[in-house]
Chain A
């Protein structure tokens, strides 16, 4: 019974069990790791963004104060000389001297003017002493106002003149001078009557500030920019924007609403931090802060810069996680495989048991777990099989003995009814034939007959129930019929004595239906007595079949002392009396129809046979045809008596 396919299939399943468990563990661990990762990344990013905000804010503050410091230096240089100008209002040379001194003393100032209002200084229309640093780095002086350059209409003059307070000009590109971006600080001079009579100015190159702004670089892709009071770009990494765009126009061009909002706030000297969604560039963070002259500077950080470290961390964590999960998978798989190792041995044991080696040694299991339980169950199964097989062998033996005994009993029972035909070969006036076909090996039907004093004594009977008890009862009845028949005077006498004999001591309440008769072979007279049995069929020489009219009396074996009454009739030579048990009329086909007394009578009427043997053979064949293979559920017994 070696079956290699079986083994291969088992070990295949075990492999997949290990993998399945490992994958399950992996899936759960992976899910937990991922969830943890998401949380960690979320907080990490929040911290980094907050950190960046703080960092940028600090850098912005430092840069702004540095620029403010430069601007203040310029303002202070002018304001410190105000009294000197006031005291030199009648001295032209002195005024030139002052402007020269301011330029030479303050290297961040590259030009200085004192522009008087028309007709104020010595009734001159223009008077504006002006000193400046030339291309050769020497200081030159000149009178600024000319008919071509009427400074009283210039912003740097007009605005502080009208506002009566100091003003920084919008940045401008000094094309005539050193080709640098400059801004001018204008300071109004006010007389004792409160009128503005002149404006002092300092030209301040913004090169330093622009450099400073461009050097701000908190992250790799960060940059800073500076806008003037009206938003014009003064410094920006994209130099094409400088002087050509304002922060608002740029925002409108690019369609950045957040930048526009931020721009408005910057023009309003606001301080802020904004996140901006940029098309295709990730998010950017804009921090801005005003300078003291109401310009505004800002630092732009990109998402990638701020969160870059976070992404590196993410990469490292994922790499570690994948490595960890692979280790976990290998470990789990090996572990499960090792734990399931006994299963391979159990499989081997099961195969050996299947081959018939019921005592095959099982693998040792030292752990107190399910594997141990399996081993115990397996061992229990082995024990049970061994015991069961022993029991089975014993039972089989007992069954064989019983069957053998039943076969012997059946032989004995068959021997109790006459089975040699013709039974009376010396007589040519009597044709007897019979069959007894038990439903089980032994049955409860009987027939018997003998001749005494030229009279033919006969009986047929059917014990209630089947099997061995019925067979024993049948044997008792048959013996009693022979014993009592030897001296009985009449059929009723025979039946009454038979009943008394059987009823006495019948504890089982079994009974037997019987028909017994005595046929006078010389005359054809029949005395008979029926004890609850089916009436026989009398077939006349002309083929007509009629049931015999019977008194039923009572079945035999039920009531001691019951007086059976007999009947008599006369039959012609050539007539046949057919006696049967209810196995004939109650033979069933597959739709639970009975063969029935009507069918039996019709069969007897419609067919004619010379001998009882032919009649019975044809009748049994007809019953078999009717039941069509259905199991015979009752004994079938037929006895024919033909008087010739």
Chain B
């Protein structure tokens, strides 16, 4: 899972590439740690390159969203692949994330 973070204005733009599973969840958690603090709390995640997420991945997104909301921001996820979207749908995460 490759994570790139660009910051423009008051927004973080995050690009994800690859599978997010048990083998790299630890690394992913470290990679997105910078997004969990600071004044900028608006985060847009480009999911077009993410081919899979495990339930632990969902938990990380949830933690990120709670952190952003506690700082008055929000998380927006874009360009999600159908099978990943399916996971979000099955678990009901589609109801609590903004996915466009």
A-chain residues with CB within 8 Å of residue B89 when the two chains form the complex: 552
A-chain residues with CB within 8 Å of residue B22 when the two chains form the complex: 466, 633
Instruction: Decide yes or no whether B33 CB sits under 8 A from chain A.
Output: no
A-B pairs, 3 with minimum CB distance:
A554-B92, A532-B91, A464-B55
Q: How far is the CA of A531 from the CA of B93 in the complex (A)?
A: 11
A-chain residues with CB within 8 Å of residue B90 when the two chains form the complex: 513, 532-534, 552
A554–B91 CB distance below 8 A? yes
Q: How far is the CA of A532 from the CA of B90 in the complex (A)?
A: 5
A509–B66 CB distance below 8 A? yes
| A445 nearest CB across to chain B (Å) | 11
Q: How far is the CA of A510 from the CA of B54 in the complex (A)?
A: 13
24 A–B pairs (Cβ distance < 8 Å), ordered by A = A464-B54, A464-B58, A464-B59, A465-B56, A465-B59, A466-B22, A509-B59, A509-B66, A510-B59, A511-B58, A531-B92, A532-B91, A532-B92, A533-B90, A552-B89, A552-B90, A552-B91, A554-B96, A555-B58, A555-B92, A555-B93, A558-B62, A559-B96, A633-B22
Q: How far is the CA of A36 from the CA of B63 in the complex (A)?
A: 84
Which residues of A are interface residues toward B (Cβ below 8 A)? 462, 464-466, 509-511, 513, 531-534, 552-555, 558-559, 582, 633
What DSSP secondary structure best describes chain A's contact surface?
A: loop
B-chain residues with CB within 8 Å of residue A532 when the two chains form the complex: 90-93
A-chain residues with CB within 8 Å of residue B62 when the two chains form the complex: 509, 511, 558
B-chain residues with CB within 8 Å of residue A513 when the two chains form the complex: 55, 90-91
B96–A511 CB distance below 8 A? no
B-chain residues with CB within 8 Å of residue A534 when the two chains form the complex: 90
What DSSP secondary structure best describes chain B's contact surface?
A: helix
Instruction: Decide yes or no whether B95 CB sits under 8 A from chain A.
Output: yes
A558–B55 CB distance below 8 A? no
Residues B9-43 near A (CB distance < 8 A): 22
Also in contact, A462 and B92, with CB within 8 A (given A509-B63, A509-B66): no
Q: How far is the CA of A633 from the CA of B21 in the complex (A)?
A: 10
| B45 nearest CB across to chain A (Å) | 17
Taken residue by residue from 74 to 97, chain B's Cβ proximity to chain A (1 for < 8 Å, 0 otherwise) reads as 000000000000000111110110
B95–A464 CB distance below 8 A? no
Also in contact, A465 and B66, with CB within 8 A (given A532-B90, A532-B92, A554-B95): no
Give the one of A465, A511, A532, A533 with max B CB within 10 A. Answer: A532
B-chain residues with CB within 8 Å of residue A464 when the two chains form the complex: 54-56, 58-59
Q: Please name 15 further chain A to chain B contacts, defined as beta carbons within 8 Å, in addition to the given A464-B59, A509-B62, sorted by A numbering.
A: A462-B55, A464-B55, A464-B56, A465-B56, A509-B59, A509-B63, A511-B62, A513-B91, A532-B92, A552-B92, A554-B96, A555-B58, A555-B92, A558-B96, A559-B96
Give the one of B22, B54, B55 with max A CB within 10 A. Answer: B55
| B83 nearest CB across to chain A (Å) | 11
A-chain residues with CB within 8 Å of residue B92 when the two chains form the complex: 531-532, 552-555
Give the one of B56, B91, B96 with max A CB within 10 A. Answer: B91
Q: How far is the CA of A267 from the CA of B16 in the complex (A)?
A: 109
| B24 nearest CB across to chain A (Å) | 13
Give the one of A464, A531, A633 with max B CB within 10 A. Answer: A464
Could you say which of B54, B66, B93 contacts A554, with CB atoms under 8 Å apart?
B93
What is the chain B residue whose CB lies nearest that of A633? B22
A-chain residues with CB within 8 Å of residue B54 when the two chains form the complex: 464
